[in-house]
Amino acid sequence: MKTLHDLVADKLERDPALLRIPLENIDRWIANGHTASQRLEQWRQIILRAQQSPEGFQELLALLRDPSEAAERLKDFAPFAGTLTREERRLAEPSCACHF
């Protein structure tokens, strides 16, 4: 089974226009005083690079699919809520504690 982040990467690969969703989340969460604004800004830069070049887009997909500890730490603050539908989220492995 795939993780939620794998499923997000798969969906973004099919429809890169969905990158607007995490950018909107970042704006809203920072405006509401989210405590991890530095990590959210890091995500903003990664997503903006993904929108600007094929290389940046591939880097984002690789990060979302990366199971390393460093990538997992960053993904703890991933702004991809709303990217997947409820039905799509149900396809993820049950042990995933992600918040989508």
Largest CA distance in the chain: 35
The predicted pLDDT at position 37 comes to 92
**Domain limits, the chain:** 4-89
Question: HEC states along the chain?
Answer: CECHHHHHHHHHHHCHHHHHHHHHHHHHHHHCCCCCHHHHHHHHHHHHHHHHCHHHHHHHHHHHHCCCHHHHHHHCCCCCCCCCCHHHHCCECCCCCCCC
Residue ranges for the chain with pLDDT beneath 70: 94-100
Give per-residue pLDDT as tens, 38-65: 999 999 999 999 999 999 999 999 999 9
The predicted pLDDT at position 92 comes to 86
